Structure 1
Amino acid sequence: MVEEFVEGRMYHIDAVLADGYRFVASSRYLHSFLGVFSGQNNGSLQLRPDDPFARRLEAFFDRALEAFDTPEAGAYHLEVFHTPEDELVLCEIASRVGGDRIPALTRATYGVDLHAVSLRLMCGLPVTPPPAALPAEVHGSVSILPQGRPVRIPGRPPFPWVRHYEVNDQAGPDAVTLHSASHLCFVIVAGADTAEVERRLFEAEDWLMVNLD
Structure 2
Amino acid sequence: MSVVIVHRNPLEPFPYHRWLHDYEGPVVILAARDRFEPFGERIPEGNLGYTHLELFDHDDEVAGRVAHLAAEYGATHLIGEHEADVLRVAELREELGLPGPRPADVLPFRDKALMKEHAARAGVEVAPHTVPKTGEDVLDFAGVHGFPLVFKNRAGFNSIGLRILRDQDALTDFIAEAYGSPRDDLLLEAYVPGRMCHVDGLVVNGEMVLAWPSQYQYELASFGTDPGSRVDLALDPGDPLTGRLLELTERTLAALRGPGGGPRDHAFHAEIFHTPDDRLVLCEIACRSGGGKIREVFHTLFGVNLAESSIRAQLGLPLPDLERAVRPGKRPVPARMAGQVLMMKRPGLIRALPDVPGEPWVEHFWLFAQPGQVVPPASGSADFLTVVVASAPTRAECERRLRSLGARLEEQVLIEAVPS
When normalised by structure 1's length, the TM-score is 0.90
The offset of 1:135, in angstroms, is 3.2
Residue 21 of structure 2 is matched in structure 1 by none
Residue 336 of structure 2 is matched in structure 1 by 137
Residue 153 of structure 1 is matched in structure 2 by 353
* Match 1:45 to one of 225, 233, 252: 233
Kindly provide the CA deviation profile for residues 110-135 of structure 1, in whole angstroms up to 9, marking residues without a partner as x. Answer: 11011111111122221121514643
CA change 1:33–1:14 in 2 (3 A) is: same
Q: Distance in 1 between matches of 2:389 and 2:225?
A: 23
CA change 1:88–1:21 in 2 (3 A) is: closer
Determine whether 1:65 maps to 2:253. Answer: yes
Residue 312 of structure 2 is matched in structure 1 by 120
Kindly provide the CA deviation profile for residues 44-98 of structure 1, in whole angstroms up to 9, marking residues without a partner as x. Answer: 2112345442111000101112222232222211100000000000000111111
Determine whether 1:187 maps to 2:388. Answer: yes
* Match 1:166 to one of 361, 366, 369: 366
Q: Distance in 2 between matches of 1:94 and 1:170?
A: 32
**Number of corresponding residues:** 213
CA change 1:107–1:50 in 2 (3 A) is: same
Q: Distance in 2 between matches of 1:75 and 1:189?
A: 22
Residue 5 of structure 1 is matched in structure 2 by 191
Segments of 5+ residues of structure 2 without an aligned counterpart are 1-186, 415-420
* Contact 2:224-2:378 within 8 A present in 1 as well: yes
Segments of 5+ residues of structure 1 without an aligned counterpart are none
Q: Secondary structure at the match of 1:24?
A: strand
CA RMSD in angstroms comes to: 2.1
Residue 22 of structure 1 is matched in structure 2 by 209
* Contact 1:166-1:185 within 8 A present in 2 as well: yes
Q: Distance in 1 between matches of 2:370 and 2:411?
A: 22
Q: Which moved more, 1:183-192 or 1:126-135?
A: 126-135
* Contact 2:208-2:250 within 8 A present in 1 as well: no
Q: Distance in 1 between matches of 2:264 and 2:238?
A: 27
Q: Which moved more, 1:149-158 or 1:203-212?
A: 149-158
Determine whether 1:196 maps to 2:409. Answer: no
Q: Which moved more, 1:125-134 or 1:57-66?
A: 125-134
Q: Distance in 2 between matches of 1:97 and 1:58?
A: 16
Q: Distance in 2 between matches of 1:205 and 1:41?
A: 5
Q: Distance in 2 between matches of 1:92 and 1:130?
A: 30
Q: Which moved more, 1:43-52 or 1:139-148?
A: 43-52
* Contact 1:27-1:46 within 8 A present in 2 as well: yes
Q: Which moved more, 1:166-175 or 1:69-78?
A: 166-175
Q: Which moved more, 1:115-124 or 1:44-53?
A: 44-53
Determine whether 1:91 maps to 2:292. Answer: no
* Contact 1:144-1:184 within 8 A present in 2 as well: yes
Q: Distance in 1 between matches of 2:345 and 2:374?
A: 9
CA change 1:183–1:21 in 2 (3 A) is: closer
* Contact 1:153-1:184 within 8 A present in 2 as well: no
Task: Indicate the structure (1 or 2) with the bigger Cα radius of gyration.
Answer: 2
Which amino acid in 2 is paired with 1:18? V
Q: Secondary structure at the match of 2:349?
A: coil
Q: Secondary structure at the match of 1:66?
A: helix
* Contact 1:157-1:207 within 8 A present in 2 as well: no
* Contact 1:33-1:42 within 8 A present in 2 as well: no
* Match 1:208 to one of 405, 409, 413: 409
